[in-house]
Amino acid sequence: MKNWFKNFKERRAQRRKLRENGKLFEAFRTLELMEQGGQLWFDEEHRRLMIGSKLAVLMMKNADTWTKFLDVCWQWQYLRESWKAMEVYMQKEELAAIRKAMKQWPQMSRRDIERVKEARRLEIAQSDIEPPKVREFEFFVIGADVPADDSAGVVAGAEAVPGGRIFLVGSYGPGMEYPEMASWEEVRPLIDKRQ
């Protein structure tokens, strides 16, 4: 009787975890579509997330939905960085294995090279790959470019950029309870002073 109940609890926990992962990957797929549609863009070099104002307004129903949205964006980017780090590591290890094999057998065919690469991939354990560092990112909410006269409803303090106008800036990291945010008109004088 004890084993039956234990097995039931384990299967139930596994199903719950699968559902959670399914929801997360569905959210990642949605973010990919938003990126393709131009509502999201991540600058990996400077760790900046550009968010379209329409998407930002949709996600800013309340503080919790906005924080969850930014957390999913962070997880999505961390997954992408992890995949990239894994691919770089795998390529480096495969190349080293091929060079070592070429010293022993200089006349290797294309099939032999593929076998050596596959064998090296199978030897690598997940723990051998160092995951990327957990870091926060900056985000910018950018709206459509509109005429500069105040009668058209332009938000005061918005800065024109090639993709539109910056309205809001902030930063978010996985350990934060809520993101740090400020309007562009508050941040712009501080940036001007630094330069």
Question: Has residue 153 got a pLDDT over 90?
Answer: no
Pairing mode of beta strands 159-161, 180-183: unpaired
Question: Has residue 92 got a pLDDT over 80?
Answer: yes
Q: How confident is the model at residue 124 (pLDDT cuts 50, 70, 90)?
A: confident
Question: Has residue 1 got a pLDDT over 60?
Answer: no
Average pLDDT over residues 69-97: 92
Per-domain residue ranges for the chain? Answer: 1-37, 80-128
The CA-based angle 43-189-158, given to 5 degrees, is 60
Range in 46-60, 103-117, 145-159 with the lowest mean pLDDT: 145-159
Nearest residue to 36 via CA among 24, 25, 28: 28
Chain-centroid distance, C-alpha 18? 21
Global pTM value? 0.74
Q: Are 121 and 113 in contact (CB under 8 A)?
A: no
Q: How far apart are CA 111 and CA 104, in angstroms?
A: 16
Average pLDDT over residues 106-133: 87
Radius of gyration of the chain (CA): 24
Give the chain's mean pLDDT: 85
